[in-house]
Structure 1
Amino acid sequence: MDLLPFTTAHAATVAGWPTTADEVVRWCGRQEFPLSPRTVTDWQQDADVRAHVLVEDGAVVGYGELWLDDEEDEAELARLIVAPDTRGRGLGRVLVRGLLARAVAQGHRDVFMRVHPDNERALRCYRGAGFSPVDPALAETWNEAQPVGYVWLQGDTQTPAGESPADPGCSS
C-alpha cells in the first residue's frame, strides 16, 4: 500500500465516492451532490494543502489532506474518505496513520482533525488510529466559527505509526 500525492487524474474517482448528500456533508461540509471533480481539484489551490491518495494494488482506495500551518507549527488532517467498496477493511486507519506520519516527518508535533459529530464510524476509526479528543474548552473555542459543533481530535505523535490499537469498526 502506498500513500502518494494527489493529482487531478484522481479527482473524478474521489468525487464519486460519497453516495449520498448526507455523506458529502459529513465528509467535507459541502451541500453539493453529487460532488464535482472540479471541487476536489479546486481544494488543491491553497498552498498549505497537501492532498494524498492511498493506493492498493494500483487502485486508488483512499483520499486525505494535510493542512499545514507552519506559523502555528501544527497540521490538520482533513477530507478523509475511503472508496465505498473497500470500507470495513481498516484502510481508514492506514490512511490516517500515513498522513499523521507525513505531518510528523515535516516537523509538526501537533496534529489535529475535526469530525462531524454524526460520523460515528469515522470517530471510531480515528480513535483506533491513535487520535483522542482535545480538551473540551479548546474544542468549544475552535467551534465558535464553525457551522457545526465538530468533535476535535489530536493525534498521538509520540507512538510510532502502526502501533495504535486496532479497531475493526473502522471503515472510512
Structure 2
Amino acid sequence: MPTWCPARRRSWCLARSEHADAILAWMQQSPFSRGWVPEAGQPQDVLTGWMRDPDTSCWVVEDDGVPVAYGTIWDDPKEGEAELAHLVVDPARRGRGHGRALVLALAQIAARPGRRVVLRIDPHNDRALAVYVSCHFAILSDAEQEQFNAQQPQLWLARQPAGQASSTPTR
C-alpha cells in the first residue's frame, strides 16, 4: 500500500458519499473535468454510480483529515489493464504535491503482475502531463494512440516499469 510523508499527515481512503459535494465542486471548477458530471439533474448520482461499480475503486487523498484530491481506478482484467481516471485536486490546494501523491498512490494500488496501468488526459492539459511523466508514465506509441482514440480524442499514457526512464513528452 502507498506510503506518505508523515510530516504532511497525508492519508488516503476509499471515497464516501460525504465526499461527493466537495469532489463535484472541484470537477466543475476545471475545464478539464467539468464534462465528467452533468450540470442538471443529480450530479451526485454520477459519483455514487462510480462508487458502486464493482470494477471501479474511488479514492480520496486527505491532508490532515481534509479531502484534497480524488481519483478512480477502473479495473479491466480482460484487457490486463487498470485505468486511472477522474483525477482531480481541490483547486485551492493545487501546487502542493497532492496530485502527484494521488497518482503515485493509485498507480501503486493498481499495479499487479502482468497488468498495465494507463491513463488518458486532454491533450491540452500540460500541467497534468508534467505530473504524470514525473510519476513514470509515458505517452503511448502513435499506433496505440490511434487504437485507443477510436472513440475519443485523448492523450494516452502508460506507467513504465520501475527503473525505466519515462519518455519526454511529445505530441
Map of 1:134 onto structure 2: 140
SS at match of 2:162: coil
> Are residues 1:13 and 2:22 paired?
yes
Deviations 1:135-166 (A, max 9, x none): 111111110112xx21100012425xxxx9xx
Higher RCO (C-alpha under 8 Å, 6+ residues apart): 1
Aligned to 1:124: 130
Change beyond 3 A, Cα 1:31–1:73: closer
Larger Rg: 2
Mind listing any 5+ residue stretches in structure 2 that lack a counterpart? 1-9, 167-171
Q: Assess, with a 3 A threshold, how the Cα gap between structure 1 residues 134 and 30 changes in structure 2: closer, same or farther.
A: same
Identity %: 34
What is the Cα-based RMSD across aligned positions, in Å? 2.2
CA contact (8 A) 2:69 2:90 kept: yes
* Contact kept? 1:11, 1:38, Cα under 8 Å: no
* Equivalent residue, structure 2, for 1:85: 92
One-letter code aligned to 2:56: V
Partner of residue 155, structure 1: 159
**Preserved CA contact (<8 Å) 2:37 2:46:** no
Partner of 1:99: 106
> After TM superposition, which residue ranges in structure 1, 4 or more long, deviate above 4 angstroms?
none
TM superposition score normalised by structure 1: 0.81
Query: Unpaired runs of 5+ in structure 1?
Result: 165-172
Which string of whole-angstrom CA distances, capped at 9 and with x for unpartnered residues, describes residues 81-126 of structure 1?
A: 011111011111100000000011x546300000011211111111
Number of aligned pairs? Answer: 155
